[in-house]
Amino acid sequence: MTFDEAFDELMRHEGGYVNDPRDPGGETRYGISRRAYPDEDIAGLTLERARALYRRDYWDRCQCGALPAWIAGQVFDAAVNSGPHQAALWLQRAVGAQPDGVIGPRTIGVVRRADPGTAVARFNAHRLAAMTGMKNWQAHGRGWARRIAAKLLEV
């Protein structure tokens, strides 16, 4: 999976401008939140600026371009939704790599040797289990669960 494919897929889940008081991220556009990017003009954010932020801060930071296609989009989506460190931990736990929250050469090597179906299932199990314990699960859990289900159907 390429970044452009992953980004287009992400935009099917992340949308226009939202300012939901139940969302701890606050004001959000294209999934880019005021909390994560306090210096960005969220209301005026362009799709191209969002694309650049997603590439730099999520795709590249999680080494998604070096991961096998079968897991790259999964990790990218989880990083966007829960942060790169957490996505890396879920991936490392899913494939039996040392969980340090950083995707580097060792983790990539373990991922490449992993069984794709088992790894994706375990990755999303870790993701869903963590999300059900979040304080805003009641408000956003249904959408998060649907998002994870959609990711599982891609495999």
End-to-end CA distance of the chain: 12
pLDDT in tens, 41-61: 999 999 999 999 999 999 999
Give one DSSP letter per residue of 37-77, joined into a string.
-TTS-STT--HHHHHHHHIIIIIITTTGGGS-HHHHHHHHH
Instruction: Write down the pTM of the prediction.
Output: 0.88
Token readout for 70 is 């079968």
Cα–Cα distance between 65 and 61 in angstroms, integer?
Answer: 10
Q: Among 13, 31, 123, which Cα is nearest to 68's?
A: 123
Where do the domains of the chain lie, and which CATH numbers do they carry?
Answer: 3-153 (1.20.141.10)
Residue 131 scores a pLDDT above 80? yes
Whole-number average pLDDT of the chain: 91
Cβ atoms of residues 99 and 107 within 8 Å: no
Residue 90 scores a pLDDT above 70? yes
Cα–Cα distance between 153 and 155 in angstroms, integer?
Answer: 6
Which residue reads 């960005």 in tokens? 40
